[in-house]
Amino acid sequence: MHRDAALEFDPLARQLQQLAVRRAWVMAAEPRVDSTNERVRALVESIDGGVCAPVLFVAGEQSAGVGRRGARWLSAPGDGLWFSLVVPAGPELPDAPPALALAGRLAGVLQEQGVSATVKWPNDLYLEEGKLGGLMIERRRLGGKTCWLAGVGINWRQPAGPLDAGYRASAISEAGDGWRGDSSLLALSLVEAAVKVMSCPADWPVEMARLSRQHHGFGKSVAVEHGNGVCATGIAGVIRPDGDLEITRSDGRVIRAGPHDRVRVLVEGAGRDSY
């Protein structure tokens, strides 16, 4: 287990504050919070006139971070990048899902920096067969306006505490022989990319097209449990423009997994790896 490559909070917070001033964002940072999502909501509600520019909240540690389906997310000091972002949303729902578009953009930034991350449907970042990061996006009224709220967590090093059963984490420190890049520079690049893609829904279909066949599960055997309890197995195919995952069954029939379904990669001789 690697426990190096810490992401130091204080210098990162200072650099992010400088970036926020240059980009005209509203930003706050604290060493330890319950949840960056809760804090960014409160920050937005304190702004007179509501959200007109991106609002960012960054923490060095979260005591109550959660992931999809309420999964516990360990986010200790130095172990990763934990932030939440709010941007104004248009009046109509987009055709492309923002979670996958954002995940695709973040994976692209990591790849450019030498971290071979992939997107694992529907909203995770993976390195090899472990979860490198996750994100959750919701559309809601904040400060009197309709907004997108995105919460992001990315492991810089392996969590020190025990993980939930069946959960395997990965970390940037495990990239290749150990990532040796500039941690603050990478973190700044990831935050800036997140703000940019969430602020530009017109870019989401482009990200989806790039991601379609370049995701973690493409071509692998998977099991899908639909929200109604029906289960099936097959080969994972493309991610559709609307975000659904196509799965080809052994009889040739193509089915789709959507946001309320659960998909697992079936690894021969190694049990199952859960989405």
pLDDT at 177: 65
Q: Which two tokens stand for residue 248?
A: 């080809």
Distance CA 199, CA 272 (A): 36
Asked if omega into 259 is within 30° of 0 (cis), the reply is no
pLDDT band with cut points at 50, 70 and 90 for residue 274? very low
Q: 229-268 pLDDT, tens per residue?
A: 999 999 999 999 999 999 999 999 999 999 889 998 897 6
pTM of the model: 0.91
Residue 155 and residue 171 in contact, taking contact as beta carbons nearer than 8 Å? yes
Q: 20-75 pLDDT, tens per residue?
A: 999 999 999 999 999 999 999 999 999 988 889 999 999 999 887 665 545 555 67
Number of H helices and number of E strands within the chain? 5, 13
pLDDT at 165: 52
Distance CA 99, CA 167 (A): 21
Residue among 196, 262, 186, 208 at smallest CA distance from 99: 208
- Which domains can be identified in the chain, with CATH numbers? 9-211 (3.30.930.10), 221-274 (2.30.30)
pLDDT at 269: 45
Q: Which two tokens stand for residue 159?
A: 């969590």
pLDDT at 63: 83
Q: What are phi and psi of 58, to 5 degrees?
A: -120, 140
Q: 82-118 pLDDT, tens per residue?
A: 999 999 998 888 889 999 999 999 999 999 999 999 9
Distances (CA, A) of 242 to 35, 119, 169, 202, 215: 29, 16, 28, 14, 15
Residue among 130, 124, 137, 134 at smallest CA distance from 158: 130
